[in-house]
């Protein structure tokens, strides 16, 4: 399946603020580690204020700013096409957003 990458010309009605990152993303991606990594990406996008592209350094810096001492790991999000990398820039897909919102919407 070809996933739609969020970019400046793809509008998404679900914003990062519509996702409850305080709740666990139960089975959003079928793997605990991947679900946890997705949660950190949503927290990061909430801080940025949108589904904006980001670099590995940006996500690593955010991850360390919330108390982790190692680097951020995508845990299958890239391998399975939920996050797409091009020239060192990462973007979430529309399907990524749909899965995290379905798993943990802000009520």
pLDDT bucket at 7, cuts 50 / 70 / 90: low
The residue range of the domain holding 73 is 29-87
Average pLDDT over residues 5-10: 59
pLDDT digits (tens, 9 = 90+) for 50-70: 999 999 999 999 999 999 999
Radius of gyration of the chain (CA): 13
Which comes out higher in pLDDT, residue 63 or 10?
63
Q: Report if residue 36 sits inside a domain.
A: yes
Q: Report if residue 61 sits inside a domain.
A: yes
Q: Report if residue 56 sits inside a domain.
A: yes
Domain count, the chain: 1
Could you give phi then psi for residue 27, rounded to 5 degrees?
55, 25
- pLDDT, position 8: 54
Could you give phi then psi for residue 75, rounded to 5 degrees?
45, 65
In the block, tokens 């204020």 appear at 49
C-alpha dihedral (51, 56, 60, 61), degrees to nearest 10: -80
Q: How far is the C-alpha of 6 from the C-alpha of 79, rounded, in Å?
A: 17
Q: Report if residue 17 sits inside a domain.
A: no
Q: Report if residue 65 sits inside a domain.
A: yes
Asked whether residue 12 carries a pLDDT value surpassing 80, the answer given is no
Q: Report if residue 57 sits inside a domain.
A: yes
């Amino acid at each position: 399946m070809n996933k739609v990458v969020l970019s400046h010309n793809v509008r998404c009605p679900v914003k990062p603020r519509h996702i409850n990152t305080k709740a666990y993303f139960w089975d959003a991606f079928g793997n605990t580690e991947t679900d946890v990594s997705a949660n950190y990406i949503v927290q990061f996008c909430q801080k940025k204020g949108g589904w904006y592209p980001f670099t590995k350094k940006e996500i690593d810096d955010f991850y360390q700013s919330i108390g982790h001492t190692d680097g951020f790991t995508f845990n299958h999000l890239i391998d399975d096409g939920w996050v797409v990398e091009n020239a060192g820039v990462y973007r979430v897909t529309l399907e990524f957003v749909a899965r995290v919102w379905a798993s943990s919407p802000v009520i």
